[in-house]
Amino acid sequence: MTERGPIVCATDLSPSGAEAVEIASRMAAATSSALQLVTVGGIPPDAVGAPKTEAERVYRERLERRYDAASNALDKERVRALSWGPHATATVLGGRAWEAIVEHARAAQASLIVVGPHGHEGPRSSTRRDLTEWILGSTADRILRHAPCPVLVGPRGDGHAPPIGGATWLIAVDFSEPARAALKLALKLSKACKAKLVALHVTHDPILRLDPAGEEEPFPPLDDVAKQMAEQKRAELIGLVKGELGTPIEVEVAVGDPAHEIASHARTLDAHMIVMGTHGRTGLSHFLLGSTAERTLRLSSVPILCVRA
């Protein structure tokens, strides 16, 4: 990754992919970055030799038609991207989607990857196919965990990408190194995009609020503890922002589940982007523990910029 590297936008050529292209184009124009549009669409005609059997010939023709269709559709997206101002190229990649995109971004020394949204929140039935998708995650999940640079994930919206300039961006801060990196990147990009920054820290409720009978009834002393914790975290957040950014921004503290509170505050503030750090867990730890960033992605209706330290 390099700060002056291109922005790589991976689209599946769907409506949500078109939103990602628009977001990437606007970001590239605001930051004076080159834009590289990519999609994964089969094998180019000259990639392999002549077919040896009739079945192989038919299969090869299908792959070539798929490649040509993807190439034509992607070039239309490139032309559309030019209307927002950045210099844009279009490349059809072959191979496994997330691996091809990550490898392309690494080779290009990309400064940012922009992808479409995740999809639904977990399995909706108990079929093996749905369970497998939940365990293995989506293309966006995998890119997020393996990318060599920050990843901006588009919203699960109505086909209209929110403007990123002149808007409010919400930065989720948990005091980790990725969160510090997210603060710094948000400041840099917000200056180029003329966006307002609001930092939010979410602290967990100090104790499960159940009385001995199991009824949900909050106790005033616990409310006091939560309030004291919130005020302490507010002071720490103000200190962190001042130390990392050298400039004051608005700060907020909430008590509750981080993913839900982040998404809720974004709606309340009418934020057009969420910026947050991610630890990029992989393997069994990711399956068992998940991550706040990935859970927020499934709840948010606005783009989320995920930053690893």
Whether residue 205 sits in one domain with residue 289: yes
Whether residue 120 sits in one domain with residue 135: yes
- The domain boundary residue, chosen from 161, 192, 222: 161
- The domain boundary residue, chosen from 107, 132, 161: 161
* The pLDDT of residue 247: 87
Read off the pTM: 0.83
* The pLDDT of residue 124: 35
* The pLDDT of residue 16: 87
Nearest Cα neighbor of 240 from 293, 173, 301 is 173
Strand segments (E) across the chain: 7-10, 35-40, 88-93, 112-115, 151-153, 168-172, 196-203, 250-255, 273-277, 304-307
CA quadruple 239, 243, 249, 250: dihedral, nearest 10: -20
Whether residue 169 sits in one domain with residue 125: no
Whether residue 297 sits in one domain with residue 252: yes
Whether residue 181 sits in one domain with residue 293: yes
Whether residue 206 sits in one domain with residue 107: no
- The domain boundary residue, chosen from 161, 180, 214: 161
Whether residue 129 sits in one domain with residue 171: no
What is the rounded radius of gyration, in angstroms, for the C-alpha atoms of the chain?
22
Please identify which residue in the block is written with the tokens 């809720």. 264
> CATH no. for residue 58?
3.40.50.620
Whether residue 175 sits in one domain with residue 149: no
Per-residue pLDDT 10s for the chain (309 aa) are 456 899 999 999 988 899 999 999 999 999 999 999 999 987 665 556 677 788 888 877 888 888 899 999 999 999 999 999 999 999 999 888 999 999 999 999 999 999 987 543 333 333 444 333 333 457 888 898 899 999 999 886 555 778 888 999 999 999 999 999 999 999 999 999 999 999 999 987 655 444 445 454 444 555 677 778 888 899 999 999 999 999 889 999 998 889 999 999 999 999 999 999 987 655 544 444 457 888 898 888 899 999 987
- Domain of residue 28: give its range: 1-161
